[in-house]
Amino acid sequence: MPSPQNDLSIFGQFADALETSWRARALPHQIEPDGDWTIWLICAGRGAGKTRAGSEWILEQVSAGRRRLGLIGPTSADVRDVMIEGESGILACAPDWNRPVYEPSKRRLTWPNGAIATTYSAEEGQRLRGPQHDALWADELAAWTDAQMTWDMAQFGLRLGARPRALVTTTPRPTKLLRDLIAREGRDVVITRASTRDNAANLATSFLATVENQYGGTRLGRQELEGELLTDVPGALWSLAMIEEARVRREDVPEMRRIVVAIDPAVTSGEDADETGIIVAGLGVDGVGYVLEDRSGRYSPTEWAREAVAAYHKHRADRIVAETNQGGELVRATVEVVDANVAYKGVHASRGKYTRAEPVSALFEQRRVKIAGAFSKLEDQMTTFQPGASKSPDRLDACVYALTELMLSTTGDAIIEFYRLQVETNGRPGKVIEGQAQTLVRLVAPEGVSTVLTLSGESLNIPEDRKIMVTAADAAPLLAAGFTQEDQS
């Protein structure tokens, strides 16, 4: 018969185990929901505890008797570094008595009870053709390459046991696969949601302050911090997918052939004034445009001039380009007060903001422009600005001026290069807008243009009267580039 002292020791150990157990400390969105579901989807912001929830769920499944598990991440490195060996990975969360043996060369975790978890990456989704599982953990689904094929192969193999189940942990992005899963909520899919802030007790205060300051109140922040699935704004020239596809790491940016600093100056200053857009962009040796820096902000005239000149010297830019509609020569004078030696070019905007932005949006569609890093407030304006919007898209305007100067100059035959890029995209003609192809418009070409290349690849010589007939699809970017439409009334 055990002694009272041993009884107390056993109860003490039991109490300690309860106090340190996962379910006693987990946040509500990290605990497996009740109910008859097949897929548990955790949509949550960065740092919300998704990886910890996935690791603990896998350990619970092993303890519950599941024997063949699958772990799928965006890449093999992600599976190893995050899901298995990470600070919130399976090895870090497993108790000593139930710690698996990890064999990286075999892509396998083996538990003391014989359960085996095999690792896969979305880069090699075909490896999932054949293996069977009774539980799956799919991490960062929205970041998978070839996501649909990988997911389909995984689902075909989720067939062992009486109730096979899958957990998906991801920061949401508007991919088709994720939207399809969310649409199944209430049927075979159950969803828990959380923001970065929900896990604040387990995050560094400095981290929270930094991300809230940089991304709070932006669309990117709503996605990455709040865990909100965003959809594209009807009428906006940029989609979220276009922005993500254009994004590159700063260390992957090539040498620049040209760099400009563009300014869209605010006409007033103060707390309620518009911001002054200041964007640095370059044309790489690879022929691709790069958005390099966003220094926009709410400045007095002297302050925005100093910011622009500082960017000019930092990036060794070729010139500063500024809109002169509001300030005229005062814009040049303000810049030259700070540094009279900078190269300067004033731009007078004769067309509306939306029309000016259309050709630049086309360059993004053709993958001719990249974003070096992330500029959340600029990207917000790109993906939300619509015709007739009351608020001025200052950052977007400056970005348009910069890329127009670098890639869409309307002087001489440079417009031909713009159209050449359009028909060159992936070796096929550019996209013709449905419903507009048969509508003809008469345009008058600006001086200095002798030839244009249409979206269909047809080369048109400009006649002496400078008038040409083009489709409405061809007319839109030509009008933005300086052509005028003849009154046919």
Judge whether 199 and 168 are in contact, CB under 8 Å. no
What pLDDT, on a 0 to 100 scale, did the predictor assign at position 82?
Answer: 96
The class of domain 12-205 in CATH terms is alpha beta
Please give the Cα distance from 271 to 206 (Å, whole number). Answer: 26
Say if residue 482's pLDDT is above 80. Answer: no
User: Can you tell me which residue has the tokens 């965006």?
Assistant: 74
Enumerate the domain spans of the chain. Answer: 12-205, 240-407, 414-485
Cα 204 to its chain centre, rounded Å, is 24
Say if residue 11's pLDDT is above 90. Answer: no
pLDDT in tens, 52-74: 999 999 999 999 999 999 999 99
Judge whether 280 and 261 are in contact, CB under 8 Å. yes
- Averaged over 298-306, what is the pLDDT? 91
Say if residue 432's pLDDT is above 60. Answer: no
pLDDT higher at 108 or 227: 108
Percent of the chain with pLDDT over 90: 42
Mean pLDDT of the chain: 83
How are the residues of the chain apportioned to helix, strand and coil, as percentages rounded to the nearest 5?
40, 20, 40
What pLDDT, on a 0 to 100 scale, did the predictor assign at position 414?
Answer: 41
pLDDT higher at 416 or 266: 266
The amino acid at 205:
T
pLDDT in tens, 340-399: 999 998 887 656 777 778 888 888 988 899 999 888 889 888 888 876 655 668 899 999
Identify the CA nearest to 41 among candidates 26, 19, 57: 57
Please give the Cα distance from 150 to 128 (Å, whole number). Answer: 7
Q: How confident is the model at residue 468 (pLDDT cuts 50, 70, 90)?
A: confident
pLDDT in tens, 197-255: 888 888 888 887 887 777 776 766 777 777 777 777 777 888 888 888 899 988 999 99
Please give the Cα distance from 429 to 445 (Å, whole number). Answer: 22
The architecture (CATH level 2) of 240-407 comes to 2-Layer Sandwich (3.30)
Say if residue 402's pLDDT is above 90. Answer: yes
pLDDT in tens, 322-333: 887 766 678 889
- Averaged over 143-152, what is the pLDDT? 90
